[in-house]
Structure formats: C-alpha cells, structure tokens
Structure 1
Amino acid sequence: MVTLRQMTRRWIAVGAAFGLALALTSGGAAWQQRQEPATEPSAAEPAAAETQATDQRPDAEVPGIAVEPAADGQPLIFRSGVNYIRVDAYVTDEDGTPVFDLTQDDFEVYEDGVKQDVDSFQVIRIDPLEVQASGVQTGVGVTRSDQELAASQPDVRVFVIFLDDYHVREGNGIRARRMLVDFLENELIPTDLVAVMYPLTPLDSVVLTRDHEAIIRAVSQFEGVKYEYEARNTYEARYVFYPTEVVERVRNDVSLSALRGLMIRLGGLREGRKSVLLVSEGYSNYVPPQLRSQNAEMPVDPGINPARFDPFAGDNSFEESFAFFRSAEILSDLRYIFRTANRFNTSIYTVDPRGLAVFEFDVSEPTVSFNTDRRQLRVTQDTLRILAEETGGRAIVNQNDLRPGLERMLTDANGYYLLGYNSGAAPTDGEFHEIEVRVSNPSLRVRARPGYWAITERDVQRAERTVVNEPPRAVDVALDQLAEPRRGRLVRTWLGTSRSDGNGKTQVTFVWEPTDGRGRRDEASTVLLTAMGDGGAYFRGRIPEEGAGERNWATFEVEPGELQLGLAIEGSGGEVLDRDRIEMDVPDYTNPEVVLSTPLFVRARNELEYRSLVDDWTVPPAVSRSFRRTERMLVRFQAYAPGGAVPEVEARLVNRAGETIVPLDVLQPGAAGADSQPASGGRGDATGSQAGPNAFQVPVALPFLPPGEYLIELTATFGDGETTHLAAFRLEA
C-alpha cells in the first residue's frame, strides 16, 4: 500500500521535472514597513561545545512547568555542534494518553537506518491548570533580543496563527474566527507566546506576545477572500486585472513565501519546538475552465470563455493532465515549506475551515461537474495533510468541530521528550536524512519529525570561525557596481564580456539608458561610442544606429587586454551634451581554466512579460541593478571549461556579509533535449538552442525578500578548477 508520504514524494519528483518556477512578486503594499535584509539563520549550530545550564530565565520558576533533568540527577548539560541534532518525541499509549515516565535508556534513534548514540535527554511537562492558577504573566519586549530571550526557554509554548485569507472563503472565515476566538479565550495559559500573521504581514511585524487579548482582537478581524479579487491595497491593484489563473498563482506564491519566511524567522528565535497554526482551505495552481476569466476582477465572460456554462468542460483527458501537472507544481512548492520547517524545528498544524467538506465549489460560483469538484477538493485537502505530516504536526481536515484538533496541538506542546545526538555520518551534503525514534516498549506509539536537512561544507566553515570576519573584499567590489552615476551625468551604462565563437577574441556588450532628471533640459538621444585597444579601433558608431529604433545596445569583438571606451552623449539635434571615458580590462576566455562571463540581469515588469522573455536570449540586459518587488528577475551568464566542456554551476543568494540566504535554481536552457534543464555539467555540443550549451540562467523570486542590497554568488566547477563571481542588485519596495 502506498502511503501518503510516499505518494507525496513521487509527486514532488514529478513537480521538480515539470513544475514552472513561478514566483510573481509579492511586493510591498503602501502600508508595509521597510525591513532590513533578512538573513536566513544558518543550519549549522555554533562550534561544538558543552556548557552547564544556568538559570537564564528572566522570571522566577513558574508553577505547573517542569523541566526534568537526566535520570541520574546531574545538572542538565546542553550540547551543540555543527552535526548535533535535536528531536522532539511524543510518546502515547494505545489509548492516546501521553507517557512521561520513560528514561533515556528507553529510546533509540536511527538516522538513515543507522543507530545513533543519544547523549542528551530532557522531559518537558507543562500543567496548564497549575499555570492558570498561579496567575503568572510577564510582558515581552518587541526587540529581537527580547523575543529571543522569552522564546528561548523550552518550558514556554510558542504559537503563530497564520491566517491565510487568500485561501479561505468569506463564509468559512467567519466560522473559523468564531471557533478560534472561543479556543483562544479558554485554552491559552499566561506564559504562552503567540503571534498572528497574514500573507502580506511584514516579517518584522510578527511579534510574539503574552497579550492574548490583542491576539483575540486580531483574529476577530479575520476575513477570507478566496476567489474574491477586489483589490484591497495598492499591491493587489497591480495584478488583479491579470487572468484568474495568474492571480491564483500570485496568491499561492505570496502565501507560501510568507509561510516560509515565518519558519526562518522562528528558527532565529529559538531552537526548540515552535508551532504554526495554518488556517487555510489548501493550495492548488489549477483553476477549472468554468472560472477562468481574462480579467480576474471581472465576471467570466461566456463570449470569451464558452466553458462558463458547461459543467463538464473539465472532464476530459487534456484538463485532467493539466490539473495533474498543476498539482505536481504546487506539491513541489510545498517541498520548500516543509524543508524549511524541518530545518528550523517548526511543526505546522493545518486547519481547514470548510469542516466536513463534500464539495469544493458552492452555489455562488459557476457550476462544475462532480468529478472536477471532487478532484479539486482532494488536491487542496492533500496539501494540508502533507504540510502537517511532513513537519510533525497534525491536519485538522474534514472536521466540523475544530476544538479536538486544536486541543491536540496544545497537548503536543504540553509534554514531550527532547533528544539530542551527534550524527555519526556527520553529513554535509545539504540533503534530507530520515530520522526514526523507537522505544523499548512495543505497545507505545512514538511521533517525531521525519528527518532533517543537512548542513553544507560552507555552513561548517562559517560555524567554525572563531572571529567574526568582515565582509569579503569581493562583496564590497560587487556592491560598488550599484553606485548611481555621479550627479550631472545624462546616461547610465553597462558593460559585459563573453567568449566569441572560436576566434580567440572576446565579445563586448555595451548598453546605455538615460538617467532620470539630472538638472538639464536636454535629454540624451544617442551615444557615439569609440572602442580602442592595442589592436587599434575595434568599434566606432552611434547607438542606436539610424533607423534602429530604441536599440540602445551594441556588441563587438576585441582582443583581450586593456580597452578604452570614449562616449559622446548627443541630443536629438546631434549636439554633444556630455562626454565620458571608460577603461576596462578585457578577460581572455581562451585560457585553459574555468571561467564565467559577465552576469547580466533581465527585467520583467509583470508575469506576462516574464513568460515572453524567459526563452528569449536576444533581449538586452537591464542597465540598472535596482528592482522592485513587483518585478521578475533573471540572471544570465555563460560558463566555460577547458576543451569545450560545460562546467557544473551553482548559485546562491547572499547578504552583504557574504553569508548564504538561500540556494538558487540554475537552469541550462541550451542543454540537449530541453529548454530549461537543471545545470548538471558535461560536454557542450551544438543543440540549435538560441541560448547555446554554455548558457545558464537563474530565476530569482523577489516576493519574500525585504528591501535591501543582495548578491548572487555564481560558482562554476570542472575537475579541480573552480571560479566564483558575485553580482549585486538592489531591491526596492
């Protein structure tokens, strides 16, 4: 029998092969606060060390909360290290009653089937009745250090309620908030730290608090807007007129990106258990044909979409295949969510406010057939089950009474075992490793997280640093490229180099664009460019050429070495408005070593434009490196290795300190047999692709990034050779 988890991972594999990398921006609404660039906390823990636990709690011991030391009565020892793994284990008997009388010797932990030595053991028990009776309640500051201090204690329950209004209908939202308010009023205890988040809530506005009345007021204002597309803020107004399928994908991306960002933030607050209560009706990239409109904020026009009044328009092999691959895409996206949740020890408890659902679509929506309705309902419910199962939480699905499921979430947080071990394999491959927890009594049941994502070699090197290093010089050099032209300059320019075809020369690309108002009345119309080197004049001409329209770029071949570029900026009448001179060292791409061309940035202002550009390698690069969160971004470059080989390429998004935020997908459009294949290296051969076998591109999802300056680190390796390049960009609100 195929389990849900096995089915999930098969679908994820399909999604990885066929899914689209859709990440239309979730840029800032006018009311969003500016944030500093968020650095994903390292998966690696501090360098191996043992320190005796001391009483760091800001308050006196709370009645009803017990943190039991090891069975031998010795002081509890907290251990950490780059390969140290912590596991929360929940043990119940056959009746589902929690069991707390086990010792360290009763547990066995297996990693990838290999038994590990458990060297850290702790029992967490919280008695809500005693805590309520004690009346103990302490305030929590809003600074990050205050939040970390309050959340760092393992005997404090941490909950975040994620109200996904994009994926909850209005009526179901009313029902959900009524049950949630009743639950919060009666079940929270004074020491609980709670926060509320919506998909468009900035991460720095997610503050844990013990002011439970404020949490209840926030939940009371929850309103679902699933399948309702009236713009509520300036951000939504930017995309609401797109087709319904595009808007739904935008909403999926916004919600899932926000959820992933929340996991990262919680991971930075505490290593111990965190719980996220996700209120949602599930996720799907598929929209039945009866609901498809060219303008989401307008009703479906049967003159344009004849399927509007055809209930069976989705009951055919094409639509079923289409729905299957769309489901595979969303499951692939979910992989990033539960991967991040497992990395930062966060459990997701999913709440489906539809209750005991029979149909996905109600009478207020276009009529769809029973088969289409049932398929869509099953897919959305499965996404909720998968998120819960893969993160060690529980799915409250197909239940009219949400209270039992919510009480189970509290029960899980009330008592569990904290186990720790040093991984025998000490993996640094960045891959997923399964964990299995067993107990000596076969009649007991154990629930624990299914595994963890290993750190990488770079994480280890960073964790073992004894001194905080200054940002690498290469980072400063890359960030210098973001400097705006000095005051008075009329144009902004970009220069890039790449290998020419087999003649030993280097191809230079020059692009210019006018700057915004610089205090002069005249505007640049053309640039007269002269390129001189040791070999003489390589290029002289006006850009754009006469009759070339707005083609503000040119390419030409030069010999490697020093190159001087003279620019004469001309007005519409041919008069010279300004002059400039640029000197550059042109690299030699014929050297027998791994080398990268100059990365170029491609800007798409919306999803439709992105689709037209993603396979078009003739589009000129963006001159400015400043992007908005409402735009799409592609980074393109070529990678060369000796003998005409194609090296392996990796990409990472890093912060100003040179620390990795997240790995990025690298696509190889020119790979044989596909337009966009993952970069895997190998011999380059002629494929007829417009991009060429040495061409790579990196799509960068901007929605979950706050405004700031970032860098993309590109690394190409072949054999023992390796080269790295940093390309910086600025993200605006």
Structure 2
Amino acid sequence: LSQQQLLGQRPTRRDTLYDTQAGLAYLAEETGGIAIRNSNDLSAGIRRVLDDQKGYYLIGYRPDQSTFDPKTGRRSFHHLTLKVTRPGSFTVRMRKGFFGVTDNERVSAETSAREQIVHALVSPFGSDAVPIRLTSLFVNDAKAGSYMRSLLHVDGSALTFTDEPDDWHQAQFDVAAVTFGDNGNVVDEVSRVDRLRVRGDSYRRVLKSGFVYMMTLPVKKPGAYQLRVALRDQASERVGSASQFVEVPDMKKNRLELSGIMVSANVRSGPNNQQPQTSGPSNQSTPNQGEQSDPLDMATSAAVRKFHQGDDLRYSFVIYNARLRRETGQPQLQTQARLFRNGRPVFTGKLQPFTLSNPPDLNRLSADSMIHLGADMIPGEYLLQVVVTDLLADEKHRTATAWLDFEIVK
C-alpha cells in the first residue's frame, strides 16, 4: 500500500476500534461501572477495580407508587441524578435511570416455569434444588435405530406431594431434556409434564430413597453429544438439573460396537470374599443361590451407581455387529472387565469366551456378568471398563470398549 492509502485507512481503523468499545463503555457508564480500555496493562486495570472497592458510600432510593403505571402497563424510563453538596473529593457513579417495573413483577417474570427450566438447561452449573442424578446409555434397535435410554434418579423428598384420600399422595413436575452436539448447538429437545402418584409403603420409600424416571431420546446421527436434563417441581418451583456426555457410534459402518453399560447390585447373604471375582459373560443371566434382587432397588442402583463393599456389581451391555463364522453361523468373542481408581487399574478380570444361547438377533447380543466388590475396594470413585474382542474381525476393528463410572460408599 502507498503512504496515501495507509493514511486513508487510519481513520477507518480508528473508527472501528471506537465502535467496538463504545457499546461497552456506554453500558458501564449508564450502570455506574468503570470502563478500562486502550491499555495493555491488565494488572493496572484490576488494581483500579480493587482500589475502587476500598471505600465508598452506598445510597439507596425507593420510588413511590406513582412511578409505576399498572393500569396502562406502560414501562417508562425514569432518569436519576445525584449531586453531592458536601465539600471534598467525591466521585459519583450510579445508574442513570430505571424502568417502571416493580420487584414483584420482575421476580414473577424471572421465575416463570419455562425460564426456570431453560436457565437450568443452559447454565454451565448444575441446579440442585431438586437433587437428581443422570445415567444415559447408548442403545441401538433394529426398528427404532440409535437412541439414548436415560435413567433419572430423583430425590423424592425434594418434591411437593399433595395428600389424597386412601393414603394416596401426588406430585406434579415438569421434565425437559436437550441434546447438544459437539459444536454446542441444540440437536433435539423433549419436554413433558408428568406426575407421580404413590401410596403407603411406596410413598415412604420414595421419600427415603427417591425414584427413577426413564426417558428415551432418539439420535439421528452418530457423534459426541451432551445430554442435559432439568426437572422442576410445580408446587415449589424448585429445579434440579444434570448432564452427561454420550458417544453414539456410526452403526452403518457395520463395525464391532458396544451399548452403554447398565449396572445393578445383588446383595449376597453369604460371607464376603476378600478379592473381587467376575463370572463369564453370556446372553442369559441366572442368579446364584442366596442372591436377592428387588426390581426397584436394581433400577435405583442403575441410575445412582452407588454400591457398598460386599455387593455383587452386576453389569450388562449389548454387543453389536459381531462377525459370524461361515461354517457355524456363530460369533467368536472374548470379553474382559477392568476396574480403575484414580486412573490406575485395581482389578483386571480374566479373558472370558462369550457364551451364546439362542439369541433373537445375532447382530445384537446381550451380555451379562458380575464383579464382587471385596473388602479391599475402598470407598471412592471408580471406572468400569468392558473390553470385547471379535476374533473373526480384521485386526484394526476387532476391539470395542465401553466405560461407566460408579462409586463405592461406606
């Protein structure tokens, strides 16, 4: 560029810089803040902000009722000015004005049902007014395709139940689920209004142990997703939220894949072993003698993923697209389970051959096995890894893994 062209561009760049800062400077000025600009010394700017907090007088103003106009609904802007008559060096910073909206109207708008749920879904921080825990699993069905099967454990004591005749109790709540893609955009969303109606011992158990709410969300394309779920108690307007990342594989590539892992606890009546043991996986599950399985407790443990020393951690998953031997039409699979704590392996199971027993769909093989959580499994966070090897597949695509975190509590 020539010197004349460079000089001609200087005002344009100056104006552009001014325009990009003018909006923020105006916002700071109108709300009583400080605009720090045209400086690369970030430390000096922070020191200025900190010095500003050391000493000040705070003056409040309560407008009278004539400021608001509830009849016409108009929201006029009211200008404010403040002058200091006392001698001395004082700097006045304040809002330049306000709209005529009462606090009650503002709070009512902010706490509307939809805004509460949306805020909980988009906030990077979870809402815990209603404690919830999310377990979302990838599953593929021959007819329905890929979807997320989500278990939402809800703290029943955080909901508001109304008493009804014959010892019935009912709570109403809103549920919303949003799926975000790896680019942060919303891929899909589901919302509904639901209720829970229980009585007697079931009601008392819901208050003590909570309940599991199940949702199914279809997934149209493979990829990495973040599922966020929010639940709002209608009576108290309390909201809880949770999120989880789910990887959905491309099933059209016909490679070995695994579903998410479902876990549950079988409490054994016999003495605890010191070392965890794992049984061989198969597509049929036969409980051992002395085990007791409560369907509600199993669903709760699957959603909460909290276990105790001495529990038998039963886990199940689905194997997709296993290769079949031409001569027999049977797969040749091996499975292995591992447990990790703080990134280090604490248990490695033996390689187990997968036992087939007349499955309805050879492309979707259900597997089930168990690990005993011995006395040496100290309380804390753990990772369960399941590794499946297809001995008939090519070396590059013969292994698939799935992970699930869980906790051992006292």
Give the TM-score of the pair, scaled to structure 1: 0.26
Bigger Rg, structure 1 or 2: 2
RCO comparison, higher one (Cα < 8 Å, 6+): 1
- Which of the two has greater strand per residue? 2
